[in-house]
Amino acid sequence: MGNELGKYTNCVSARSTDKEILKKAQDGGIVTQLFAFALDAGIIDGAIVAGPGDEPWRPRPIVATTREELLAARGTRYNISPNVSLIKEATRSYGLDKVGIVGTPCQMQAIRKGQLYPVGLRDVPDKIALAIGIFCMENFPYQSIVQLVEDHAGQKLESVKKMEIGKGKFWVYTERGAVVQLPLKVTHKYEQPGCHVCLDYVANLADVSTGSVGSPDGWSTVFVRSKSGEDVWSKAIAAGCFETKPIDQVKPGLELVTKLANEKISKNQKTVEERMKFGVGKGLRNPYIKP
């Protein structure tokens, strides 16, 4: 394949140097730290993040304009947070001229499409100052998270402090110290069907993309992809926001990221082809592979 990791100018393993951010970050606190820095430095004047919603672990997109709001949104919520739906409101109701936004690879695609064809998004394209993409193998409907945590893992959703997918398992950690692991063969049937035709693992279209895979526990793998990504990343490094290690000096490193990206693409490409046989998904093709 060859282009499964997308274009990037720099790839490192990193973590925030801010202990408060790390306390509740999902991995190395890259997203929260980079937005907090960009906010301080005037590179963005707010960021659309997946804040806490009305029900436990159901995200609600919010426009964060303070460090406190960014910190309240730390951690991964494994269900859909329609962050892109707030873009117009961020520029109009909140009056932001420089918008940060975090999202899954499909959300990064939606943003770039909106910038190219701004139908209904007048005034928005030039105001997206920093798009941070998070790696994503699959996502779940909210009801599925309820079933997985309460029925399969036997824990009350409100008692959970972290969920994580890694090392071939779905992990549930509770505030009182219980750790439950579910094999991924249990979680598969709950995945969003739309994720089975998704051909991007590492947010190829983001300015900066990040995920846990490839780096040691508590650290993140970071791809810096665009000019604006390079600009904010180099300034954040100069300001001492991150500790970094060359990606080829950490385990398991880029080899595992590449393997998982290829697995996702080839598995989902098969689903695309199957769906085309019965006339669905004609427009779907892998933009990263030449026909």
140 and 78 Cβ atoms separated by less than 8 Å = yes
Question: Interface with ligand SF4 by CB under 6 A: which range of 9-17, 176-184, 189-197, 237-245?
Answer: 189-197
CA distance 246 to 221: 10
Q: Helix, strand, or coil here: 169?
A: strand
Q: Does 18 bind ligand SF4 (CB under 6 A)?
A: no
Q: Which of 5, 36, 73, 265 binds ligand FAD (CB under 6 A)?
A: 73
Candidate list 198, 205, 224, 260; residue touching ligand SF4; CB under 6 A? 198
**Residue selected from 12, 31, 96, 108 as contacting ligand FAD according to rule CB under 6 A:** 31
Angle between helices 30-40 and 227-238 (to 10 degrees): 90
Consecutive H or E run containing 213: none
Do 193 and 144 contact (CB within 8 A), yes or no?
A: no
Q: Does 46 bind ligand FAD (CB under 6 A)?
A: no
Helix-strand-coil split of the chain, %, nearest 5: 40, 20, 40
Report residue 265: phi and psi, to 5°.
Answer: -65, -45
287 binds ligand SF4 (CB under 6 A): no
Of these partners, ligand SF4, ligand FAD, none, which one is at the site of residue 36 (CB under 5 to 8 Å by kind)? none
Alpha-carbon torsion (195, 196, 198, 199), positive or negative: positive
Contact with ligand FAD (CB under 6 A) among 104, 155, 204, 209: 104
**Of 110 and 247, CB closest to ligand SF4:** 110
Query: Is there binding between residue 105 and ligand SF4 (CB under 6 A)?
Result: yes
Which of 4, 45, 138, 207 forms a contact with ligand SF4 (CB under 6 A)?
A: 138
Contacts with ligand FAD, residue ranges (CB under 6 A):
25-32, 49-50, 59, 73-78, 81, 83, 102-104, 134-137, 139, 165, 210-213, 220
